[in-house]
Structure 1
Amino acid sequence: MRTTPLRLTAHSAAAALVAAALAAPAAAQAPVPDNLERLSNFQTTGITEFTTIDQTGSKADAIRKTLEGVTLPDGFKIDLYAIVPDARHMAVGPQGVVTFVGTRKTKVWAVTDRDKDRVADEVKDFAPSLEFVIPNGPCFSPDGFLYIAEQNRVLVFPAAEFFYESPDVAAFNVVPQGELIPASEESFNHTARVCRIGPDGKLYISLGQPYNVPAPDKLDLYRKEGIGGIIRIGTDGKGREVYTYGIRNSVGHDFDPQTGDLWFTDNQVDGMGNDIPPGEINHQTAAGQHFGFPWYGGGSVRTTEYETDELPDDLVMPAVETVAHAADLGMMFYRGSMFPAKYKNALFSAQHGSWNRTTPVGARVMVTFVAEDGTATTQPFAEGWLTDSGEYLGRPVDVAMLKDGSLLVSDDLAGAIYRISYEK
């Protein structure tokens, strides 16, 4: 294995400096004190107030104006569903009562449409007595348990959909603070975890690795811990294993409702140019498969740092290569019945948009159709948040389905959730 210093391929000294800044993990942070122990013992915390978000006024009007420029296939329309600051990944309650929305900051939001007019009436913070640290990834079990994957902790809230009206909500550790990844590997970079409950009833959590390309001396640790992979654990926190290897920073996954196979997005190496390497949508058919990083930077493009190294055996190449640096994030298989039949079991995904590409790309919702032979093709579904002059008016993060079959899209730039519906 090579021990020479890693190099970052870039087109300018400035790009190299930025990439270098992103390369190193920040110092490990001490666990944040909070009220988890009291909530785990069904004790009150003394917190009585919520933070609520106004759903009217000039901000709502401006967002609706932006949506007038979003294009969709015939028969579809898009509307503002809720104003939600820093909206990231979403989990719709199994009973359809409330949608929980994660952020990359310190809040989880509870979004409620009380009169069922398909526009949210109330947005307030969830479990305000808790100190969350990058609670990006909420997900629900079929029986109504809410899991929240933070930077370095996983919590569970039994019956959250019915007790979120109180500031104090029963909460328990699944993975205690500091045990999702080693504290030495905590970083400001690639910290947005996502989670899903798989067909086997286990919890699947993605663990982005903190570097642009990691040094060789990190690989054994990362392989052991599942950093740069997806782990699965029991919902009781036991039986941890690494399910997926060889990914850089996956921020979206879901299970094919027909086959049970895992599909996931992956964000690829920066600093190699505008048009390489491609982004990825991957298809996993068995536990333990390896998807090529860091030997591949994306698709079949070798990283500069590992280009002369021998490749590991049995690498799995992406099912779909997407446009370079579009930042494919949240994804889900469409299980509803509102949309036309061709969208049944199609894969919807959000492209957040590029941060360092000379000509910006992304900021749209994509749809991927998977054929019976497993081949997949991807095309734009909703776009218009990126102007011709290269200005982002919004940056989609995640997609989720309401009980009526309409599609929610979160946007952390605009601080909003949109609803896409279809009428014949």
Structure 2
Amino acid sequence: MKTFTLGALATAVALLVAGAVQAQAPNIENLKQMKVSGVDPSMPPVPQEGKNAAALRENLKRVKLPPGFKIELYAVVPDARHMAVAPSTNMLFVGTRKSTVWAVTDRNSDGVADEVKPFAPSAKFHVPNGVCWTKDGFLIVVEHNRVLNFPAAEFFYEGGDVAVIETVAQGKLIPPEEESYNHHARTCRIGPDGMLYITLGQPYNVQPRNKIDLFNKVGIGGIVRMNAFDGSKREVYATGIRNSVGIEFNPKDKTVWFTDNQTDGMGDDIPNGEINRATRAGQFFGYPWKQGKTRMTDFGYDKDPLPANITDPQVYMDAHAADLGLAFYTGKTFPAKYQGGLFSAQHGSWNRTTPIGARIMFTSLKADGTADKTEVFADGWLDADTGLYRGRPVDVAMMKDGSMLVSDDFAGALYRISYSAP
């Protein structure tokens, strides 16, 4: 029997990783030049009917909505996370925290997806959670440590090879030595200025003091913006954020809204989750000195004077409900109460003795564009009798017909919420 030393094992792992990176590089170079990568073009679709789909529909009967609203299964999509609804066709792209971006298509325009299959498998994605569109129809995919841009993706997604622009090369979004499996899911949006905005979670429960300067410089624990095509003009837009996994622009006043996930291990009811609003570049949102209404005790942050320039949250959410994706309602079919308001998804708690979350929230706005009232809009994925999750909402997205999609990475599905006057 052969014995391996730790050093030999580390060397073997390093060689395997290096081999995987080298295998990816030619693929990207071929795609950038519109050349064939050699990947198998056959992409079997995800079954949309059967026992699993029937069970998902049965679970949706437990979801409570305001009068006049109904929720239906839109598509079976494994590990479904953040969504990007296509600008010109009845399809969308769905990111995951694994290695797949899904192309979801409603080919007969009946309000239910007909086909779900992998997008651009030759790109070999790594945690492609963040998906968003440029104004002229380029699909942005933000991975853990890379940003790719796919021209006209909604029209050229049928095969395994798709033209790509490498906006940020592998290992250039954050320093590779700061990569972590913790808080590594990025989200993105194109701003009114045409720039690409990306949320970058910091990888610690509470970041140590010796990381603050580096993180502020790079934008880890914040939001960065850059040119969506070549990554130029990069700057840190906002700091003092623990782990935002949801960003959106208010189309009325162009302000940036984002969620922030709270620190674990401080008890069931603190600190509050946050929905924040940024009105300009350079704002600081308090972390790690403060989150919600709570001072951070790790590394003695609570002994420091509280920084004077903190921008407080617009909404204080329940602790540990895990607020993720959010979107403004831009349709016309929901009642007037909801038009122009903010919907947001709560993934549900893990760090709590009594689970909370797994629901969709709604926040109305005041005339000045700030938050007014927040209430539960859709609830029921958390079984009150057993404390078990039957689903965990991640993101919300608005469809052109005025309906709203909800993604669920636990059940592996997209749901469609629509309204008809009772």
TM-score range, shorter chain: over 0.9
CA contact (8 A) 1:99 1:110 kept: yes
Deviation at 1:51, TM superposition (A): 3.5
Residue aligned with 1:163, SS: coil
CA contact (8 A) 2:202 2:243 kept: yes
CA contact (8 A) 2:56 2:411 kept: yes
Distance 1:376 1:132 in 2: 39
Are positions 1:354 and 2:356 aligned together?
A: no
Give the counterpart of 2:68 among 63, 75, 96. Answer: 75
1:183 paired residue number: 176
1:387 paired residue number: 383
Deviation at 1:312, TM superposition (A): 2.2
Q: Report the number of matched residues.
A: 396
Provide runs of 4+ in structure 1 moved above 6 Å: none
Are positions 1:410 and 2:404 aligned together?
A: no
CA contact (8 A) 1:84 1:416 kept: yes
Deviation at 1:377, TM superposition (A): 1.7
Deviation at 1:381, TM superposition (A): 0.5
For 1:107-256, list aligned pairs within 5 A. 107-236=100-229, 237-256=231-250
Are positions 1:279 and 2:276 aligned together?
A: no
Are positions 1:365 and 2:360 aligned together?
A: yes
Distance 1:126 1:382 in 2: 30
Deviation at 1:129, TM superposition (A): 1.2
Distance 2:371 2:146 in 1: 36
1:318 paired residue number: 313
Deviation at 1:235, TM superposition (A): 1.4
CA contact (8 A) 1:96 1:403 kept: no
Deviation at 1:343, TM superposition (A): 1.1
Worse-superposed segment, 338-347 or 143-152? 338-347
2:33 paired residue number: 41
Residue aligned with 1:129, SS: helix
Residue aligned with 2:269, SS: coil
2:10 paired residue number: none
CA contact (8 A) 2:276 2:315 kept: yes
Residue aligned with 2:303, SS: coil
Kindly provide the CA deviation profile for residues 118-172 of structure 1, in whole angstroms up to 9, marking residues without a partner as x. Answer: 1110000000112100000010112110000000000000000000012111012
Kindly provide the CA deviation profile for residues 166-212 of structure 1, in whole angstroms up to 9, marking residues without a partner as x. Answer: 21110121011000000010000000000000011100000000000
CA contact (8 A) 2:135 2:194 kept: no
Corresponding letter in the other structure for 2:38:
G
Corresponding letter in the other structure for 1:316:
T
1:11 paired residue number: none
Distance 1:241 1:277 in 2: 29
CA contact (8 A) 2:147 2:169 kept: yes
TM-score by length of 2: 0.92
CA contact (8 A) 1:97 1:161 kept: no
Task: Indicate the percent of aligned positions where both proteins have the same amino acid.
Answer: 60
Residue aligned with 2:244, SS: coil
Distance 2:199 2:340 in 1: 22
Deviation at 1:98, TM superposition (A): 1.5
- Indicate the structure whose relative CO is greater, using CA pairs within 8 Å and at least 6 residues apart: 1
Deviation at 1:401, TM superposition (A): 1.1
Give the counterpart of 1:327 among 318, 322, 328. Answer: 322
Residue aligned with 1:161, SS: coil
2:286 paired residue number: 292
Residue aligned with 2:418, SS: strand
Deviation at 1:337, TM superposition (A): 1.1
2:11 paired residue number: none
2:373 paired residue number: 377
Distance 2:148 2:340 in 1: 30
Distance 1:62 1:79 in 2: 12
Deviation at 1:313, TM superposition (A): 2.7
Deviation at 1:311, TM superposition (A): 2.2
Deviation at 1:356, TM superposition (A): 1.7
1:396 paired residue number: 393
Measured on the aligned residues, the alpha-carbon RMSD in Å equals 1.1
Corresponding letter in the other structure for 2:99:
T
Distance 1:207 1:287 in 2: 16
CA contact (8 A) 2:90 2:109 kept: no
CA contact (8 A) 2:363 2:371 kept: no
2:83 paired residue number: 90
Deviation at 1:220, TM superposition (A): 0.3
TM-score by length of 1: 0.92
Kindly provide the CA deviation profile for residues 379-412 of structure 1, in whole angstroms up to 9, marking residues without a partner as x. Answer: 1111100011211000000000111111000000
Question: Which residues of structure 1 form unaligned runs of 5+?
Answer: 1-26
Question: Which residues of structure 2 form unaligned runs of 5+?
Answer: 1-13
CA contact (8 A) 2:245 2:260 kept: yes
CA contact (8 A) 1:353 1:361 kept: yes
Deviation at 1:46, TM superposition (A): 2.1
1:17 paired residue number: none
Corresponding letter in the other structure for 1:403:
K
Give the counterpart of 2:340 among 338, 341, 345. Answer: 345
CA contact (8 A) 1:181 1:225 kept: yes
Residue aligned with 2:373, SS: strand
